[in-house]
Amino acid sequence: MKKPSIIWLNVLVFLITFLFAAIAVPYRAYTHGFDATEITAAIICFIYCGMSITAGYHRLWSHKTYQAHWSLRVIFALGGAFALQNSILHWCSDHRVHHKHVDNNDVDPYSAKMGFWYSHIGWMLRHYQASSCTDYTNARDLQKDPVVMWQHKYYLLLTLTMNFGIPLLFGVIHGDIISSLLLLGFCRLVLSHHTTFFINSLAHIWGKQTYTDKNTARDNGILAFLTFGEGYHNFHHIFENDYRNGIRWWQFDPTKWLIKSCEFLKLTSKLRISPEDKVEKARLSMVLQRSQQKLKFHPEAEQLLARLQQEYDTLIIKVNEFYDARKQLLASKRDKLIAEVENSELMAQYKDLKQRLADQQRSWQLLVENLA
């Protein structure tokens, strides 16, 4: 079967920028050096590009996990042009197809099952999806956003302005245009590209399937650090409408922190989160599944599997009881004075169920660890 034609513009952009970043930047560092101000400015530009993609392109526009003030949308739109990853409309349309048809080699634009190279960058080097590359019917909602359509219409101009204008302006002010173009321009752009591309490639290969094994997506804390929280990709693929990717307090997700912080400034609103009981039950289901697989060839497999299932069923009952009580408690707090609720029978029941759930979780955890 004949391969699709090469997209020479993309090939040249990726190749030229990479060569400058891999050769010219180290040479400049060795022969001339970069000062702290230049390095700091490059890091700030890298963060701006990354957060514009994660908070803007991904969680705001692709998945509608929250709403944002027009001024914040403009900031993200400019940052997305600076990141040089196509317009909001095009990027989000591709991404929605990816989620709808994940791992389907015939439809998923960057299916991980096509291999690392293809999912990382190869899918952008040939016309693999030529028939649908300008089909934005799955993004009609975005076509009603004036910021999205403004950026889409003037994308080339905005891209050139951001990618040359910002490094040149900083270079003129700082007094070193060459270093600025190399560090804030080429080096920052290549890092922005490939850290984002890691989510399409590495995040579907390397990490844990914490919540589902129905697709190749993985949770990976290292990738989360490099991509401003996007590395918790297994969670994201099952709970894509959640504005968070890292749902635990200790998980590195600065995009989540930015979105939440902007809520206090009235720049974001209607932040969507997944029901906690559904998240917990998805996690427990995967623990059960892995434990069952370990017991397949155990000499007492039948008895152990029965006990494991019994403990799991009891735990799920406790989870349902606890979260039902929690919902009732929160509803009661909205209707009554908090002080009254805290002294009520409902609060006592809630605390009792919380303790019972904790006890059952410990029992379950001990059983799983003994079977490991």
Structure tokens belonging to residue 200: 């399409």
Q: Three-class SS of residue 142? A: helix
Q: Averaged over 335-358, what is the pLDDT? A: 67
Residue keyed to tokens 């559904």: 278
Residue 217: pLDDT band with limits 50, 70, 90: very high
Per-residue pLDDT band for 233 (boundaries 50, 70, 90) equals: very high
AA letter at 165:
G
Report pLDDT digits (tens) over 302-311. Answer: 787 888 888 8
In single-letter form, the type of residue at position 338 comes to I
Q: Which long-range contacts (CB under 8 A, 24 or more apart) does 347-355 make?
A: 349/325, 350/322, 350/325, 350/326, 353/318, 353/321, 353/322, 353/325, 354/322
Hey, CA dihedral for 15, 17, 20, 23, is it positive or negative? negative
Alpha carbons 102 and 93: distance in angstroms, whole number: 14
Q: Which of 9-18, 19-28, 174-183, 341-350 shows the lowest per-residue confidence on average (mean pLDDT)? A: 341-350
| Structure confidence by residue, pLDDT tens digits, 286-295 | 988 888 887 7
> What is the pLDDT at residue 131?
62
Q: What is the pLDDT of residue 321?
A: 85
Tell me the DSSP string of 28-45: HHHHT---HHHHHHHHHH
pTM: 0.90
Question: What was the pLDDT predicted at 307?
Answer: 82
Q: Which pLDDT does position 371 carry in this prediction?
A: 67
Would you state the pLDDT for residue 97?
94
Q: Return the SS3 of 219.
A: strand
Query: Taking 60 as the threshold, does the pLDDT of residue 339 lie above it?
Result: no
Check residue 190 and give its pLDDT.
97
If one counts every other C-beta atom within 10 angstroms of the C-beta of residue 170, the result is 23
Alpha-carbon distance of 232 to 253, in angstroms, equals: 9
Could you count the other beta carbons within 10 Å of the beta carbon of residue 107? 14
CB 41 within 8 A of CB 170: yes
How large a percentage of the chain has pLDDT more than 70? 94
CB of 106 closer than 8 Å to CB of 215: no
For the cut 60, the answer to whether the pLDDT of residue 103 exceeds it is yes
Kindly report, residue by residue over 43-85, the tens digit of the pLDDT: 999 999 999 999 999 999 999 999 999 999 999 999 999 999 9
Give the pLDDT confidence score for residue 290 in this predicted structure: 86
pLDDT, position 342: 55
pLDDT at 113: 93
pLDDT of residue 343: 54
Q: What percent of the chain has pLDDT over 90?
A: 72
Mean pLDDT throughout 313-323? 86
Within a 13 Å sphere around the CA of 37, how many CA atoms are in the beta-carbon half?
Answer: 9
Helices 188-200 & 70-83 angle (0-180, nearest 10): 100
pLDDT tens sequence across 110-140: 999 999 999 999 999 988 876 667 789 999 9
Average pLDDT, the chain: 90
Measure the CA dihedral 244/246/252/257, to 10°: 20
Least confident segment among 3-7, 119-123, 296-300: 296-300
